[in-house]
């Protein structure tokens, strides 16, 4: 399954060959066009929920709330595991294997991944991605979707039958078939599945399409694909038309479908009022990431399978407090060390005109055993265990302020032997000082602005380690080296 999410993210821009089907809600045009002057987005500290492991986070994460108030999520890599937690972001219980690959020659012979769940009454519906005829080393697999039901909230499943399948047979060295990474309840009586034909690979005849079924009965025989502006083709074996976004959630505040896509420098946010045509909410990234490759040759971090769920309910029906869930690989590490990450995303509608739209939290962690300080916007394996949280240092902008002088900061790692020295420094310095650049950390102001605070680069002589602080005395943990700039207090 390794290649699917890369194709799902990078190959979404299909031909605009479909018509708008639904009216645009009041205010939606302004948000979709990216000119709304009130929205403020703050992305908080990432939490490592599971990992490192080779058997998690090879799918788009999904969860449901249990009758006792806990939450049950589903993750896996060919096998699907149920994992529980007391909060939507926790997911710390031992995993229970609930699905495994089917018998040889079956549509699921290479694996079964639960991509989405919905609770209807006491029945939990599961959208299951299947693969067969796979040769991953040569980029070959064949996908389809089945519907499964569970009467015990996802611990055991009954496969009801196929719901989405393509028109192309398996082919050597290619990704073929239809699969649906995300399903979104449309608040109009239908569930809408966002799917990929032939892996979404444009060079392989692939694209993103949409299908729907009644929310009360999303089983086999109920699905229709959108083709030439009409819901006219069967889900299994029917034709489809391209749409230009991979919807992952429904934003109840604005009555829009949300799509996550790559923006310059990181992960971007798009919305659609008609489920078919997506436009950026803002031009800057929602979250910065280095964009590492799937061959793991460039040594950079890798972010994939990004989805949005509500921070309170765990559903992909969103208010204004979200969780961004995704798979993460550390720089230099392989797929045997996957992590499942949750990151809070909070929306405010009272931004002042001069206030930056999007910013990410910078956090200082410390591992006393290894004398390791870590100031980062990225996930920290061992968070709250081997690493303790020293301070949340404020927010860094994900793009430069066009009206005021800013400085881009980068996170870098020492190349010399011994325990690592992680440094936060101005862009372009790392490579000249025997450090490896890991990622852009974001932008700070050159001079003090309203609601900003100083950000200092600090150094501990005793531990031979750099870190960052808002206090010019470096919280008593070292000495001040330089003023990096001014970041946002909120």
Between the CA atoms of 259, 262, 265 and 267, what dihedral angle is there, to the nearest 10 degrees? Answer: 40
Q: Where are the domains of the chain?
A: 4-17+38-348, 358-488
Residues 93-104, mean pLDDT to the nearest whole number? 97
According to the model, what pLDDT value does residue 419 have? 85
C-alpha 268/C-alpha 359 separation (Å) is 13
Say whether pLDDT at 6 is over 90. Answer: no
Is pTM beyond 0.85 here? yes
Confidence band of 28 (pLDDT split at 50, 70, 90)? very low
According to the model, what pLDDT value does residue 7 have? 39
Contact call for residues 205 and 37 (beta carbons, < 8 A): no
According to the model, what pLDDT value does residue 418 have? 86
According to the model, what pLDDT value does residue 291 have? 85
According to the model, what pLDDT value does residue 20 have? 27
DSSP letters, 308-366, are EEETTT-SSEE-SEEEEEEEEE-TT--GGGEEEEEEEEEEES---TTS-SEEEEEEEEE
For the ranges 15-19, 143-147, 215-219, 278-282, which has the lowest average pLDDT? 15-19
* Number of Cβ atoms within 10 Å of the Cβ of 98: 22
Q: Which residues contact 221 (CB under 8 A, 6 or more apart)?
A: none
C-alpha 264/C-alpha 287 separation (Å) is 10
| Kind and range of the H or E run holding 50 | strand 47-53
Q: Which two tokens stand for residue 40?
A: 């403020």
Digit-coded pLDDT (tens) for 398-414: 999 999 999 999 999 99
Confidence band of 8 (pLDDT split at 50, 70, 90)? very low
According to the model, what pLDDT value does residue 36 have? 57
Taking the domain 4-17+38-348, which CATH number applies?
2.115.10
The bridge status of strand 388-397 relative to strand 62-65 is unpaired
Residues 296-301, mean pLDDT to the nearest whole number? 92
């Amino acid at each position: 399954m390794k290649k699917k999410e890369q194709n799902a993210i990078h190959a979404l821009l299909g031909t605009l060959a479909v018509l708008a089907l639904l009216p645009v809600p009041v205010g939606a045009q302004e948000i979709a066009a990216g000119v709304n002057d009130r929205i403020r987005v703050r992305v908080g500290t990432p939490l490592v929920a599971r990992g490192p492991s080779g058997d998690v986070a090879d799918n788009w994460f999904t969860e449901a709330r249990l009758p006792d108030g806990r939450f049950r999520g589903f993750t896996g890599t060919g096998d699907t595991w149920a994992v529980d937690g007391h909060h939507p972001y926790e997911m710390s219980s031992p995993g229970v294997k609930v699905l495994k690959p089917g018998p040889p020659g079956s549509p699921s012979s290479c694996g079964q991944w639960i991509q989405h769940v919905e609770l209807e009454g006491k029945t939990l519906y599961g959208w299951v991605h299947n693969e067969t005829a796979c040769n991953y080393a040569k980029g070959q697999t064949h996908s389809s979707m089945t519907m499964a039901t569970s009467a015990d909230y996802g611990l055991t499943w009954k496969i009801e039958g196929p719901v989405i399948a393509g028109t192309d047979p398996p082919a050597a060295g290619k990704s073929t078939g239809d699969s649906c990474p995300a399903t979104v309840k449309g608040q109009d009586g239908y569930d809408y599945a966002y799917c990929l034909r032939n892996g979404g690979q444009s060079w392989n005849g692939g694209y993103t399409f949409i299908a729907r079924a009644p929310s009360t009965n999303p089983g086999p025989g109920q699905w229709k694909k959108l083709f030439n502006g009409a819901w006219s083709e069967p889900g299994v074996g029917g034709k489809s038309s391209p749409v230009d976004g991979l919807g992952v959630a429904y934003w109840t505040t604005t009555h829009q479908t949300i799509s996550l896509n790559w923006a310059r420098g990181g992960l971007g946010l798009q919305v659609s009022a008609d489920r078919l045509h997506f436009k950026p909410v803002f031009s800057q990234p929602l979250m910065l990431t280095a964009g590492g490759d799937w061959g793991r040759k460039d040594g950079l971090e890798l972010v994939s399978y990004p989805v949005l769920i509500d921070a309170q309910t765990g559903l992909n029906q969103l208010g204004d407090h979200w969780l961004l869930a995704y798979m993460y690989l550390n720089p230099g590490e392989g797929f045997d060390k996957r992590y499942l990450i949750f990151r809070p995303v909070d929306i405010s509608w009272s931004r002042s005109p001069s206030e930056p739209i999007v910013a990410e939290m910078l956090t200082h962690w410390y591992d006393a055993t290894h004398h390791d300080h870590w100031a980062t916007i990225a996930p920290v394996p061992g968070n709250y265990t081997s690493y303790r949280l020293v301070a949340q240092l404020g927010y860094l902008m994900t793009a430069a302020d066009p009206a005021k002088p800013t400085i881009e900061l980068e996170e870098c790692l020492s190349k010399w032997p011994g325990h690592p020295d992680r440094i936060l420094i101005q862009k372009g310095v790392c490579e000249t000082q025997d450090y490896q650049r890991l990622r852009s950390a974001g932008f700070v102001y050159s001079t003090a602005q309203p609601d900003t605070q100083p950000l200092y680069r600090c150094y501990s002589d005793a531990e031979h380690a750099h870190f960052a602080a808002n206090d010019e005395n470096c919280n008593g943990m070292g000495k001040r080296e330089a003023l990096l700039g001014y970041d946002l207090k909120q």
